């Protein structure tokens, strides 16, 4: 009996160890978090491990649940179910003021009657830290954001970008373990926003703390992040590095939302994918499949075909097409071409003068990435079954078999969907 009790105790200890809140490399552990507002489900079973010193971006369109997830981490919302842990301590049961987490909001919320240094040191004053410590820490924080020269200025006397730096300094002066940033760059103009993206990433590397950044801007996420967590309708669609999530998207939604793509509905038979008159080798199983082919992966073919050795290493698929539209984007141009069978493709290439006759293009078979079918802009999770994907494709494309593609000049927000039976340019709603 004692041996049995001992074994039961050992099993209990083992189970307790297995349910410990974090791993050795994880600072923040989000476990099966869900959030409902009445009957409206905002977050569904979110589980995510965030490493110490990581720059993680939570990316998603409006209504995806990204800001709600950030507010749960900050303590402004409570999860309906699930847990949040940080440094082996339960976080979601603590009030916001006890969490070693600071937030930088979209509106900087600076006190207009206070100077820059008073704004930065406000939290330390409320915590009743010694005056000498406050002065030293405020000075260090302002130096980190390159705003020491404006310490005596009022917020109304400095620019929007400088106010952004002050908001960052005010958050950093409290020495949080995690800094939460809720679309803090969205109010800045395009040039200043690009400048602040670089500065923010450099600052994160310098201070070495974890940044959790929320945005709907794909370019912003790609520039700054160590990893991107893409949310769709309250669920995690994919979590990966910017390079991986762009070059190897897991779903059609990811391929469409991050960057631009051509979606190719193909039939696979004996290791060969067939879409219209295009064929390329693939390793996926026979049947219907969906592939993502980035516009920049298609290029104007070289005069001479590649050498035999190169062809084996990366099979090049060559095809002829007629140029239908050409839009200038500075260093690059966006082309819409029509293949012999009526297949429409979008191509991004270096700016150049092109003849109006048929041209020859090529792409590597490896650049046609198989993806799981999901609907863009859906308000509910998609089953992603083959049958439903096939029905969705047919119903969408058949309605425009004889229609002419519209608004090519807005192609930055378009995705080409190509099917062996039906072809249509599907415009993506801007996030």
Q: In this predicted structure, what is the pLDDT of residue 255?
A: 94
What are the extents of the domains in the chain? 25-242, 260-376+383-427
Answer whether CATH 3.40.50.300 is correct for domain 25-242: yes
Band the pLDDT of 304: cuts 50, 70, 90. Answer: low
- The answer, yes or no, to whether residue 6 has pLDDT greater than 90, is no
Contact 294, 347 (CB under 8 A): no
| Nearest Cα to Cα of residue 179 among 101, 235, 99 | 101
The answer to whether the pTM exceeds 0.85 is: no
Q: In this predicted structure, what is the pLDDT of residue 162?
A: 87
Residue-wise pLDDT tens digits, 260-272: 899 999 999 999 9
Residue-wise pLDDT tens digits, 78-105: 999 999 999 889 999 999 989 999 998 8
Residue-wise pLDDT tens digits, 330-347: 888 888 999 888 899 999
Fold of 260-376+383-427: OB fold (Dihydrolipoamide Acetyltransferase, E2P) (2.40.50)
């Amino acid at each position: 009996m004692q041996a049995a009790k001992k074994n039961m105790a050992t099993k209990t200890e083992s189970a307790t160890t297995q349910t410990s809140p974090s791993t050795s490399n994880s600072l923040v552990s989000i476990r099966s978090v869900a959030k409902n507002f009445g009957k409206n489900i905002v977050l569904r079973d979110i589980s995510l491990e965030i490493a110490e010193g990581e720059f993680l971006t939570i990316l998603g369109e409006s209504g995806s649940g990204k800001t709600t997830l950030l507010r749960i981490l900050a303590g402004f919302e409570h999860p309906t179910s699930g847990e949040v842990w940080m440094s082996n301590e339960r976080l979601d049961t603590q009030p916001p003021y006890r969490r070693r987490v600071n937030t930088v909001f979209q509106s900087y919320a600076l006190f207009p009657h206070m100077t820059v240094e008073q704004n930065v040191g406000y939290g330390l004053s409320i915590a009743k830290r010694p005056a000498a410590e406050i002065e030293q820490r405020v000075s260090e924080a302002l130096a980190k954001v390159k705003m020491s020269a404006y310490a005596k200025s009022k917020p109304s006397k400095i620019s929007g970008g400088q106010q952004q730096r002050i908001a960052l300094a005010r958050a950093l002066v409290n020495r949080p373990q995690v800094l939460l940033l809720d679309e803090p760059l969205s109010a800045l103009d395009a040039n200043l926003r690009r400048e602040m993206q670089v500065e923010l990433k450099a600052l994160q590397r310098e201070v070495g703390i974890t940044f959790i950044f929320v945005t709907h801007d794909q370019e912003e996420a790609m520039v700054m992040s160590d990893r991107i967590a893409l949310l769709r309708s309250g669920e995690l669609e994919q979590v990966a590095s910017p390079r991986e999530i762009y070059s190897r998207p897991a779903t059609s939604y990811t391929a469409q939302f991050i960057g631009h793509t051509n979606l190719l509905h193909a039939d696979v038979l004996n290791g060969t994918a067939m879409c219209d008159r295009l064929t390329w080798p693939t390793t996926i199983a026979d049947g219907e499949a969906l592939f993502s082919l980035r516009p920049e992966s298609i290029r104007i073919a070289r005069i001479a075909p590649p050498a035999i050795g190169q062809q084996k290493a990366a099979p090049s698929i060559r095809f002829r097409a007629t140029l239908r539209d050409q839009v200038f984007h500075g260093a690059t141009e966006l082309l819409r071409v029509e293949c012999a069978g009526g297949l429409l493709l979008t191509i991004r290439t270096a700016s150049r003068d092109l003849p109006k006759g048929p041209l020859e293009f090529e792409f590597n078979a490896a650049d046609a990435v198989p993806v799981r079918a999901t609907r863009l802009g859906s308000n509910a999770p998609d089953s992603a079954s083959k049958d439903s994907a096939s029905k969705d494709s047919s119903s969408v494309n058949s309605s425009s078999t004889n229609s002419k593609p519209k608004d090519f000049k807005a192609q930055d927000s378009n995705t080409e969907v190509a099917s062996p039976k039906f072809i249509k340019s599907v415009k993506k709603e801007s996030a």
